[in-house]
């Protein structure tokens, strides 16, 4: 089955770019997603330094990931609703301003509690930025390139891992963990300026759809199943990646100085996986969805046998990056395709919230496995089990879609083209 076509009401820009040429505005969105991605990911390369400086355990430091993710989960729908009458460009710029202030507060935090609060404040911008940004991105390109547009915008996240996370780990090792947050504050200022210069104003002057209609879109069974598969499918990634620093140093035997270069491998894998997932979803959305979730579960499971081998572990860190971000575009497109145009802003933000609820659940579950369960060595197979649960939800969703009459399975303007 081909990807569900996205309705014309998604358009947030003066018009789609001609086929073969992508607008600069799309890369401005990538710059913003890079900055926000840095805020999400850099803490994973700083856990040992933060734990030592603030006198908390590694598992408690890991909860800074969960706190951020829960802030995204709460902030995405709330801020999307509060800003629904604002022009999308103004929303994106305001969110980058909050992001900048939040990271400066992290750099100045005197204790663990203050750092957690500052992280949560920063996280409130995340879901709405990616939710609104995804809608803006799809409005900048022709219909046949919408999944690729989403993947390009989300490539800012992969670049945050490829460049931001190892750079943050390097800064934390040599200049202290606070220097990383100061650097992210500077990234926020630059991203704000790029969005202000390059993202066009929307010509859509129509009144926002009624809130009850947007909520009715979210309540559709296939949209809810999409949110659930996103949460469970991606949670397995954060069971492992949250604790990648202690995993590499305490189990595989790498020095702390080796963590930053190894994170480059993970980031490179994410770049490849993100672009691959977008292209696969553009061609065949449903096979891409099932195939990428299955690949992620397999990589996490087999990674369990590589924990004591340095060469194998580096390879699997890269494979995890590929498998993890290959799922992003298929999962996001699935939700957008089953939501009517009137409710796609909210549906998109809810799916970003679902990603981050999965992140929070994964980070929390990894901490439980380390502190109260079988220990650090068990987190990979636990992660695989969680992703398998997301795969089962996806299979159920596809079965229901094919079982129902086509006219009932999707909104009229989202009926898929024939395979």
Burial class (CB in 10 A: 0-12, 13-18, 19+), 311: exposed
Pick the CATH number of 8-413 from 1.20.1250.20, 3.30.460.40, 3.90.1010.10, 3.40.50.450: 1.20.1250.20
Distance of alpha carbon 197 from its chain centroid, rounded? 25
The predicted pLDDT at position 208 comes to 60
pTM of the model: 0.68
134, pLDDT greater than 70: yes
Q: Please give the Cα distance from 225 to 372 (Å, whole number).
A: 31
Mean pLDDT for the chain overall = 80
> What is the mean predicted confidence (pLDDT) over 120-149?
77
Q: Averaging pLDDT over each range in 190-199, 238-247, 286-295, 333-342, which range is the top one?
A: 286-295
Of 55-64, 102-111, 125-134, 340-349, the range with the lowest mean pLDDT is: 340-349
Domain ranges of the chain: 8-413
Q: What is the pLDDT of residues 309-345, one digit of tens each?
A: 899 999 999 999 899 989 988 888 888 778 766 566 6
The predicted pLDDT at position 70 comes to 84
Of 42-51, 144-153, 228-237, 259-268, the range with the lowest mean pLDDT is: 144-153
> DSSP letter string over 331-397?
HHHHHHHTS-GGGHHHHHHHHHHHHHHHHHHHHHHHHHHHHTSS-GGGHHHHHHHHHHHHHHHHHHH
């Amino acid at each position: 089955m081909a990807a569900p076509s996205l309705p014309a009401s998604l358009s947030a820009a003066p018009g789609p770019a001609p086929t073969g040429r992508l607008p600069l505005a799309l890369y401005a969105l990538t710059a913003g997603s890079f900055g926000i991605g840095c805020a999400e990911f850099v803490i994973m390369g700083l856990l040992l330094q933060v734990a030592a400086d603030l006198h908390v355990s590694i598992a408690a430091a890991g909860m800074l990931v969960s706190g951020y993710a829960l802030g995204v989960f709460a902030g995405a729908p709330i801020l999307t609703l509060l800003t629904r009458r604002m022009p999308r460009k103004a929303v994106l710029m305001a969110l980058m301003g909050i992001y900048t202030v939040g990271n400066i507060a992290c750099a100045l935090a005197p204790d663990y509690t203050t750092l957690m609060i500052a992280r949560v404040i920063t996280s409130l911008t995340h879901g709405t930025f990616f939710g609104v940004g995804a809608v803006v991105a799809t409005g900048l390109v022709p219909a046949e390139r919408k999944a690729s547009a989403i993947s390009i915008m989300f490539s800012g996240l992969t670049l945050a891992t490829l460049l931001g996370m190892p750079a943050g780990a390097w800064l934390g090792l040599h200049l202290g963990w606070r220097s990383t947050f100061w650097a992210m504050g500077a990234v926020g200022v630059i991203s704000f300026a790029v969005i202000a210069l390059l993202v066009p104003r929307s010509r859509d002057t129509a009144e926002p759809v009624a809130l009850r209609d947007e909520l009715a879109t979210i309540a559709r069974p296939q949209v809810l199943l999409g949110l659930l598969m996103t949460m469970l499918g991606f949670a397995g990634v954060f069971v492992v990646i949250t604790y990648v620093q202690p995993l590499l140093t305490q189990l595989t035997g790498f020095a702390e100085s080796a963590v930053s270069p190894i994170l480059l491998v993970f980031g490179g894998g994410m770049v490849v996986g993100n672009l691959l997932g977008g292209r696969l979803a553009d061609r065949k959305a449903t096979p891409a969805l099932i195939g990428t979730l299955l690949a992620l579960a397999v990589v996490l499971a087999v990674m369990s046998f590589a924990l004591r081998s340095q060469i194998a572990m580096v390879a699997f860190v890269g494979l995890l990056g590929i498998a993890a971000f290959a799922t992003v575009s298929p999962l996001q497109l699935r939700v957008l395709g089953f939501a009517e145009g009137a409710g796609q802003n909210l549906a998109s933000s809810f799916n970003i919230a679902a990603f981050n609820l999965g992140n929070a659940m994964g980070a929390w579950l990894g901490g439980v496995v380390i502190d109260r369960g079988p220990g650090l060595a068990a987190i990979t197979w636990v992660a695989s089990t969680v992703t398998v649960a997301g795969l089962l939800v996806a299979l159920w969703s596809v079965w229901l879609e094919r079982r129902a009459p086509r006219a009932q399975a999707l909104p009229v303007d989202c009926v898929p083209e024939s395979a």
